[in-house]
Amino acid sequence: MAKFINFLEDRKKIIKKCFFTLFIIFIYVIGTKIFIPLLGEDFYSLLSKLKKTSSKNDFLFSNNSCSLLALGVIPYVTASIIIQFAQKVFPFFQEWQKQGDKGKYKINIVTRVLTILIAITQSFFMLQQNPIHWAKLFTIKDENLIVFHFIVIFFSVVGVFISIWLADLITSKGVGNGISILIVIGIIDKLFNTFKYLLDYNEPFLTQRLLVLFSFFILLILTIYLSLAYLKLPINYAVDQHNDKIDNHIPFKLNTSGVLPIIIADTFLNITNYIKIFFPKSANFINFFIESRSYLGIYFFVYLLLVMLFSFFSSFMTINPMELSEHLSKQNAYLKDVRPGLPTVKKLTYEIFKLTCIGSFFLTLLAAAPDLISFCFNNEISRNIKFGGTSLLIVVGVAIETIQNIKKEKNVKNTYSKFF
C-alpha cells in the first residue's frame, strides 16, 4: 500500500493533468449532444425523434442531432494544413516564420480567419445540398429558411471556436496534443458502434463479421508498424562531440506525412459535391463518378492515386533535402560515407523517396480498406461499419504521441517494476 501511495505522490502532476484532460473531454462530449439554440420547439421535438443513420451527409448534422459542436475542430485542422503549405510557397509567410513570436502571432491570426471562412463554407454547402429535405423534414416555411440557415451557420462557427478553446486547454494544462485528442474522441464513438455490431451474436452473418474483425486486427498491426517504424541515417561530426545529448543519426519516419495525404485527397474529391450546386448540368456525371466508389470504379482508383501523389508531395514539403543538407553543414556534420554538398542532397532525396514509396503503399492500403470491405461483404455489414483504416491511423498515432508527451513530462520508464 505504501508503494502505491508513493507511486501516486511521485506522479501527482501527471495524474492531475490526466484528470483535467478527462474533464475537458467530458465537457466536449456534452457539447456534441447540445442542440443549436433558437430553432423553435417544433424543430427540436422532431429532431429528438430521429434515429441515427449512416448517411454520408452527417458531417454537419452528426447523428441527426444538429449539435453545437458538430463541426468540431475539423475547419481549424483544414486551415492549419492550408497555412502549412502556404508557408512553403509564399515568401511573406516564410518571412513571418523568421520573426519569432511576432511572426507566429500573425500566422495564428491568419489561421483563425481562414478557420472562420472554412467553417462558414462547410456549414453553408452542407445546408445547400439538402435544403428541400431539411425544410420538409422540419416543416420550416420558405420565409424562415434564411433565418434557419443563418442561425445554424453562426452557431456552427461558434462551436468550432469553442472546440478550439477546449483543445487549447488540453494542450496547455492537460496531457498536450489537444486538437488531435478531440478528433479521436469523435472517432471513438464510431469505433465503439462498429465493434459492438461486429461482436453481436444476435446479428446475422456472424462468420463474415468475424472475418471483418480479423481484417481490422491485421490493419491495427499494420498501423502500429506504420506509426512507429523509422530509418536511422548515421551521421559523423568533423569535430568530436562529447555531448551525449547530440544524436549520431537522423531519424526518418516511414510515414512522414501521417494522415495528411488522405485528408487532402478526401477534401479534393468532396469538391465534386459542391460543383453540382453551381453546375447542375454536371450532376449526372458527378453522381456516376461518386457512385462508382461502391464497386471499386473510377472514383476508387482516382482516390488511391491522389493519396499516393499527396504522400510524395507532403513528404518532400515536410523534409527538404537541400535545407537538411545545409543544416548538417552548419553543425559540422555529414552523412556517413557521403561527401557534404550535392552528394548529401542526392543521398537524402533517395532515402526519402524510398521511404515514401513504402509508406505511401501502406497508407494507400489503409485508405482503401473501408471500400474493399464494403465491396467484399454484403451491404448490411458495410452500412454498419463506420470505422476505417484512416481512423485507425489517427487513433494509434494520437495514442503514441500522447504517451510520448507523458513520458517527456515525467520519466515513467520502469514504472511497473517500481510499482511492484
* Cell numbers placing 136: 420538409
> How far does Cα 22 stand from its chain's mean position?
20
Give phi and psi for 139, each to the nearest 5.
Answer: 50, 45
Which residues touch 42 (CB under 8 Å, ≥6 apart)? Answer: 138, 139
* Equal CATH topology for 1-176 and 202-420: yes
The pLDDT score that the predictor gives to residue 166 is 95
Superfamily of domain 202-420: SecY subunit domain (1.10.3370.10)
pLDDT at 89: 80
Distance, in Å, from the CA atom of 33 to the CA atom of 158, rounded to the nearest integer, reads 15
Counting every residue, how long is the chain? 420
Decide if domain 1-176 falls under CATH 1.10.3370.10.
yes
pLDDT for position 63: 44
pLDDT string in tens for the chain (420-residue length)? 566 566 566 677 888 888 999 999 999 999 888 888 887 776 667 666 654 444 444 444 444 457 888 888 889 988 888 888 888 788 888 888 888 888 888 889 999 999 999 999 888 877 766 554 455 555 555 556 778 788 888 999 999 999 999 999 999 998 888 888 998 888 887 788 788 888 877 777 778 888 888 888 888 888 888 788 888 888 887 766 555 556 678 888 888 877 778 878 887 887 777 777 777 777 788 888 888 877 788 988 998 999 899 888 888 877 888 888 888 888 888 888 888 888 888 888 998 888 888 888 888 888 888 788 778 876 677 777 776 667 777 888 888 888 877 777 655 444 434 433
The confidence score (pLDDT) of residue 55 equals 43
For the chain, the domains span 1-176, 202-420
